[in-house]
Amino acid sequence: MKKTKVAAVLLAASMTAGLLAGCGGTETASFPDPEKTITMIVPQAAGGGTDLQARQLVEAMKSVSGNNNIIVENVTGGSTGTGTNQVIDAEPDGYTILMYGTYVICGTMTGYTEGFKELDFLNGLSMEPFVLAVNTDSPYTTFDELVTAAQENPGQMTLGNAGATATTGIVAYGLNNALETPFNVVSFNGGAELIPAVLGGHCDVGVFSQSEVIANMDGLRPLIFFGDGHSVLDQLADVPNLADAGYADLTVPGGCFRGICAPKGTPDEVKTYLADVIEKAYNSDLFQDFMTEQGLLGEYSRLEEFEAYNEQAVEEIKPIIQATGLATGEYAE
């Protein structure tokens, strides 16, 4: 009987140890699972500046990690809030990440998404300056000519942007308010929709990312460079900034910074893995060459540093959004 009892105890202990080991194995399962796909959500349509950067980063991530199971998915709508919310609502397991940008800050402050309050920060990447441009057939060759014509016929000239709470939208509304609302501000579903609208003459003027203008130089005439100083790109180096054009008192965001976020609650070891891969991808020749070609300015940060960078950006953008009248809730105060 004693031998039987001892055997039963040992068997029970063995089973318990096995179960604990199994649980431990589940908790520490290696990431990423080669059979699962890491999806980077871009909350804008394909073809715009944000989408182009996301796709180039994903290619670099595949190269440095040896993992080809990384894809880009465009989720449009809600002025970038729909795609952002899809990431927020996803399992915080590292398999769904967000191409984050200043547009998420704008969307959070205007009530389209909980945005940065429900995300974990992985890597900050770059800043892309904005450019105001018209169709090459437009009669306006300077910013002052454009503004004068708009003020003479208030509401008749359309000023397009990539979305009401996209950063270009905040620039458009902020610019319009500062000039005493001469434009009819029209929001599109990302730069991919704004570009053909201006090229086709359906929208008089648009606020674009620099890369979008460069890709369409045959059809777009840049009038103003919104970034600090002047563009680092030869094609845009002579485009005047607001101060050059005599409008130094206008305060609007000069561009959009971009980075990568994950749903809040993503395990630290998963965030570290992703941050390591993204950092290697950022520093790769493939991505650095892309940044140079597109005139993107490096604004690299990682994990806690990126979160601190974002907090500073929130404070800088808050008064601009409040001035547009679009801020809601706690941000309207």
Measured distance CA(240)–CA(226) in Å, rounded: 9
Instruction: Answer yes or no: do 261 and 114 share one domain.
Output: yes
User: Does residue 28 sit within a domain?
Assistant: no
Residue 248, in any domain of the structure: no
Range of the domain at 221: 129-236
Q: What phi and psi, each to the nearest 5 degrees, are found at residue 187?
A: -100, 135
Series of mean pLDDT values for 10-residue runs along the chain (333 residues) = 41 40 48 96 90 96 97 92 97 98 93 96 96 97 97 97 85 91 92 94 95 93 94 94 94 91 98 98 97 92 98 90 87 86
Q: What is the pLDDT of residues 3-24, one digit of tens each?
A: 444 444 444 444 344 433 444 4
**153 located within any domain:** yes
267 and 227 belong to one structural domain: no
Q: 142 and 54 in one domain?
A: no
Whole-structure pTM value: 0.79
Query: Both 82 and 103 in a single domain?
Result: yes
Is the CB of residue 94 less than 8 Å from the CB of residue 266? yes
Alpha helix (H) residue ranges in the chain: 2-27, 49-65, 81-88, 102-109, 143-152, 167-178, 191-199, 210-214, 268-283, 285-294, 304-324
Q: What is the reported pLDDT for 281?
A: 98
Question: CATH no. for residue 306?
Answer: 3.40.190.150
**What's the N-to-C CA distance of the chain in angstroms?**
78
89 and 123 both lie in a single domain: yes
Predicted pLDDT at 67: 95
CA–CA dist 333, 330 (Å, integer): 6
Domain count, the chain: 2
Write the DSSP symbol of residue 253. Answer: -
Residue 320 included in any domain? yes
Q: What is the rounded distance in angstroms from the CA atom of residue 55 to the CA atom of residue 71?
A: 8
Residues 6+ apart with CB under 8 A from 33: none
CATH of the domain at 227: 3.40.190.10
Residue 302 domain-assigned (yes or no):
yes
Kindly state whether residue 180 falls inside one of the protein's structural domains.
yes
With respect to residue 7, please indicate whether it lies within any of the assigned structural domains: no
Assigned domain for 17 exists: no
36-66: per-residue pLDDT in tens? Answer: 999 999 998 898 889 999 999 999 999 999 9
